Amino acid sequence: MLIVMMALLVTPSRARSLSGGDDPVISRALNAGINAERIELLVIRAQSRGVSPDQLQQILTPVITLAERDLPYHLMMHKVVEGLAKQVSAHEIQLVLEHMQNSMIRSAALVDPWVARQEVQHLIETSRGSRTADEATRHYRNKLLESCAHSLQMHVDDDLLRDFLEEVSSMAIMKNGDVASIAAGLLVLFEMPVTQENPGLGVRLLVGAINAGFSASEIRKLPAALQSAHIHSHLPMEKIAGIMDQQRYDNIPAIHIIENLFQGNVGGSPAGFSAPGLDTYGDGHADRGRGQRPLTPPVP
């Protein structure tokens, strides 16, 4: 309650006074559009942790740089608060923020030209809901930027992310797809169990899933589901990828494909078909194979 009351009284001049007069760094932050309330709370926390004005300047500079470039900086602000709460040194926080800043700038070089394409703008328009066109573009651009930057921080190659975006834009996804699912694909590309050994296969699996109508939440579950299928079935990932493709071609709903993979039921199939090694659902016998039943019973 105290923080809420304090936030209601925040003004830019108050934020400057807390930093010790008209501090040029605080003024720069405010001029870049960073919320005065967030700056004040950050200054208060930094002072309570014994962070010097010079150290605060070093911490804030990468954040301000992104704000001035109209790039998402909110995750960096959160990282600062988290670092201060854990009593991480100012120097270590600065190094993390500089890494995040670099990744976001590289992300913009990949995402912004892609978002500017006419077909992508059309996709955003169809996904905007109650948002204005400008609000939708900013919302989805930020999602794409943050997802791309996260994968870059995890050492995914710039060219692989570029290939993913190119593949997505060459599919029917641009007519009836979902921007949120594309952002999720960028986010989890580094998590795909095949990405390190076979990057192209990781891209193909994700693009195929998005093209098949997987939601953003289903895309985020896909890496763990594939890993589970590999562990349970002992099949090579390339074989599992082929089986997953077949399930998509058989029009099995995405949620069922994900469940099949998590269960190790890589032969999961539409109603009326029993995967090899599995007994028919409800035939009066105990389940064999891997103890999994098909997700849908056969048609009588």
- Roughly how many angstroms between the first and final C-alpha of the chain, as a whole number? 61
Residues 6+ away with beta carbon under 8 Å from 283 = none
Q: Give the residue ranges of DSSP H helices in 116-236.
A: 118-127, 133-153, 158-169, 173-176, 179-188, 199-211, 216-233
In the chain, where are the structural domains located? 14-115, 117-300
* C-alpha closest to that of 261 among 231, 220, 217: 231
pLDDT digits (tens, 9 = 90+) for 80-130: 999 999 999 999 999 999 999 999 999 999 999 999 999 999 999 988 888
The predicted pLDDT at position 250 comes to: 84
Q: What is the pLDDT along the chain (300 residues), one digit of tens a residue?
A: 433 333 334 445 555 555 444 678 888 999 999 989 888 888 899 999 999 989 999 999 999 999 999 999 999 999 999 999 999 999 999 999 999 999 999 999 999 999 999 999 999 998 888 899 999 999 999 999 999 999 999 999 999 999 999 999 988 899 878 999 999 999 999 999 988 888 998 999 999 999 888 999 999 999 999 999 989 888 888 888 888 888 888 888 888 899 988 988 776 544 333 333 333 223 333 332 222 323 333 333
The values of phi and psi at residue 193, to 5°, are -60, -15
pLDDT at 251: 83
